[in-house]
Chains A and B, each alone.
Chain A
Amino acid sequence: MAFDKMELRDIEVWDGNFAAAQALRQAQVDVVAAYPITPSTPIVEGYAKFKSDNYVEGEFVMVESEHAAMSGCIGAAAAGGRVATATSSQGFALMVETLYQAAGMRLPIVLNVVNRALAAPLNVNGDHSDMYLGRDSGWIQFDAYCPQEAYDLNFIAFKVSEDHDVRIPAVVNQDGFMTSHTAQGVHTLTDDDAYGFVGTYKPMNDMLDFEHPVTHGVQTEEDWHFEHKARQHNDMMTIVPGKIEEAFAAFEKLTGRKYNKVECYDMDDADVAVVCMGTSVETAREVAKEMREEGIKAGVVGIRVLRPFPFFEIAKALKDVKAVAALDRSAPGGAAGMLFNEIAGSLFNTDSKMLLSGYIYGLGGRDLTKAHLVDLYKELQANADAGKVLTKQQQFIGVRGPKLAYL
């Protein structure tokens, strides 16, 4: 059955959700098993509409929950098809069990996570709680800061995930509403270029190969489980980083848009830097430029690949910086923030004298304003001047009531 191609303008005005849906269409995903949840629903809705309008040749499977959605994706991926879906927040939480299954079974699946807070209290707005919940699930994790990147990173995710040396599922994160529902200009690829980049799906150990029957999802106990998990981690640490670099390079060649595992903005001579993810990166970039006009050498580091964590790239980016702020948009639940810990770990056994302080911000969609970041950069500069962290190592930004600071 033939499908129709879509004529796109060079620049379309798309929000993050529609950009991701267009990427799923252009990658000609075979199976989307999905269950709706705000704010990610328009991604799978978009794919479903493309399918019913004959712009994609595939199957849309309506299921009873997100647990079933990812289970359907796992089955389809094991059967031997290109598979994707999308979710957020509570739906992601319900999916978590099956996320570990997908990674352990080494099935390439692309999951768009439109980041949203986790209840309680119930909240549909953006923070990174769901992203953090899945960080140890064994998936490759990309982070988009805007609709353009949500579009681009989907193609990159398919290419890396489906590589036969990789076969590890990949998440593409984007901020709920701030990215998913904010329309911006998106530079498009033609259908042929996009599909050419991702490539025709090449099955491996697929259940539909009846001449080579396989059992997927077997049981092991203390005798073999550890070896399987060791292999998973080894491949994440040794194979995936290079494959991501290759995909980034190939994508730059095709589009001119260059991605890096760690994105550095104004970092060449920075004395103070903010490390963050999602739309906050764009806000921080704007503020850093303004701080430079006030004589503060401010820079921004954005995490593009959260897993495998860019340990050495972070160390390289921050080694000569005097004071760094780790911005975590997830309730830390009785610990330092995840980024604080990862950054500290990356720099600990080095000669760096970087002063690190952690900030919890933006929970449940609370705005991170430019004024917050101006204060933050000034605080970092004061730390740099004093040669020590003058505040507590963990502070909350933008919450009402007495100042919250710990550690």
Chain B
Amino acid sequence: MANTGWDEFEIGAMLRSFDGKIDDIAGTLQEDRAYSPNNSFVASVADWRIEKPVFNKDFCIDCQFCWIYCPDISIISRDKKMIGIDMDHCKGCGICVEVCPTNPKSLLMFPEQADEETELANWPAKDEEN
């Protein structure tokens, strides 16, 4: 790609998500799709993030709110079960934490450098006043 000349592009400001024809893409999970190198799925933007969400499955009720609200499709859910977060594409916006309805929350924001094991061990207790 680095030496691609002006005459070697397809015309238009256009990229293809897949090289060649695809079939039943809606029925294929992201991790099983043969994305082209031009697709943003294969590019990590993790370094855009200053804060990161940490997921605590002990309190999660699999309501899918975070999955619905995430603007970057970075909540990974399979068979209606919350599995985790796609940390290559999460921008750390915190919307998943805002919409999480459990008490305590199943997702909380921490500085990017925070140690996940430590934060899970020190997870806040249930807030009895709310």
- Which stretch of B4-12, B46-54, B95-103, B117-125 is in the interface? B4-12
Question: A211 contacts B6, CB within 8 Å?
Answer: no
Q: What separation, in Å, do the CA atoms of A242 and B104 have in the docked complex? A: 70
Nearest CB on B from A246, distance (A): 19
User: A231 is contacted by which of B6, B15, B22, B25 (Cβ under 8 Å)?
Assistant: B6
State which of A215, A216, A230 has its C-beta within 8 Å of the C-beta of B6.
A230
Query: A234: CB under 8 A from chain B?
Result: yes
Complex contact A227–B22 (CB within 8 A):
no
Q: Is residue B18 within 8 Å, beta carbon to beta carbon, of the partner chain?
A: yes
B22 near A211 with CB under 8 A, answer: yes
Answer yes or no: A9 CB below 8 A from chain B CBs: no
Decide if B74 is an interface residue (CB 8 Å cutoff).
no
| B23 at interface, CB cutoff 8 A | yes
Q: Is A214 an interface residue (CB 8 A)?
A: yes
Q: Is the interface of B mostly helix, strand, loop or mixed?
A: loop
A212 CB contact (under 8 Å) in B4, B6, B9, B21: B21
Number of interface residues of A (CB under 8 A): 23
User: 1/0 per position for A352-375, CB-CB distance to B under 8 A?
Assistant: 000000000000000000000000
Contact of B17 with A by CB under 8 A? yes
Interface residues of A in 210-239 (CB under 8 A from B): 210-218, 220, 226-228, 230-231, 234-235
Contacts of B13 in A (CB 8 A): 104-106, 216-218, 220, 228
How far is B40's CA from A140's CA once the two chains are assembled, in angstroms? 33
Q: Bound complex: CA of A78 vs CA of B10, how far in Å?
A: 14
Question: Chain A residues near B22 (CB, 8 Å)?
Answer: 211-213
Write out the residue numbers on chain A whose beta carbons fall within 8 Å of the beta carbon of B20.
212
Measured CA separation A275–B18 after assembly (Å): 51
Contact B5 A227 (CB under 8 A): yes
Interchain CA distance A220-B1 in the complex, whole Å:
13
Do A218 and B15 touch across chains, with their CB atoms under 8 A apart?
yes
Q: Determine whether the beta carbon of A214 is less than 8 Å from that of B7.
A: no
B21 to A211, Cβ gap below 8 A? yes
Select A215's contact among B5, B14, B21, beta carbons within 8 Å: B14
Q: Is A107 an interface residue (CB 8 A)?
A: yes
Chain A neighbourhood of B12, CB < 8 A: 104-107, 167, 205, 216
Question: When chains A and B are docked, how far (Å) is the Cα of A227 from the Cα of B8?
Answer: 9
- Residue-wise, chain A 198-212 has the 8 Å CB interface mask toward B (1 for contact) of 000000010000111
Q: Are B16 and A213 in contact (CB under 8 A)?
A: yes
- The answer to whether A214 and B11 touch (CB under 8 A), given A227-B6, A231-B6, A234-B6, is no
Chain A residues lying within 8 Å of B15, measured Cβ to Cβ, are 214-215, 218
B17: which A residues are within 8 A, CB to CB? 213-215
Among B10, B11, B16, chain A packs the most CB atoms within 10 A around the CB of B11
Residues of B39-89 whose CB lies within 8 A of A: none
Across the interface, name the chain A residue whose C-beta is closest to B19. Answer: A212
In angstroms, Cα B41 to Cα A213, docked, is: 14
Closest to A231 in B: B6
Which residues from B are CB-within-8-Å of A216?
12-14
Q: How far is the CB of B19 from chain A (nearest CB, A)?
A: 10
Smallest beta-carbon distance A232→chain B, Å: 8
Bound-state Cα–Cα, A359 to B79, Å: 73
- A105–B7 Cα distance when bound, in Å, is 16
Name the CB-closest residue of A to B36.
A213
B17 nearest in chain A by CB position: A213
CB distance from B55 to the nearest CB of A (A): 30
A83 to B22, CA, bound (A): 28
Chain A residues with CB below 8 A from B21, complex form: 211-212
Partner of A218, one of B5, B11, B14: B14
Q: How far is the CA of A228 from the CA of B5 in the complex (A)?
A: 9
Q: Which residues of the partner chain B approach A217 to less than 8 Å between Cβ atoms?
A: 13-14
Q: List 19 A-B contacts (CB under 8 A).
A: A105-B12, A205-B12, A205-B14, A210-B25, A211-B23, A212-B20, A212-B21, A213-B18, A213-B22, A213-B25, A214-B15, A214-B17, A215-B17, A218-B13, A227-B5, A227-B6, A227-B9, A231-B7, A234-B6
Where the two chains meet, the residues of B that have a C-beta atom closer than 8 Å to any C-beta of A are 4-7, 9-18, 20-23, 25
Q: Which residues of A contact B (CB under 8 A)?
A: 104-107, 167, 205, 210-218, 220, 226-228, 230-231, 234-235
Query: 9 tightest CB-CB pairs across the interface, nearest first?
Result: A106-B12, A227-B6, A230-B6, A106-B11, A213-B17, A215-B15, A211-B21, A231-B6, A105-B13
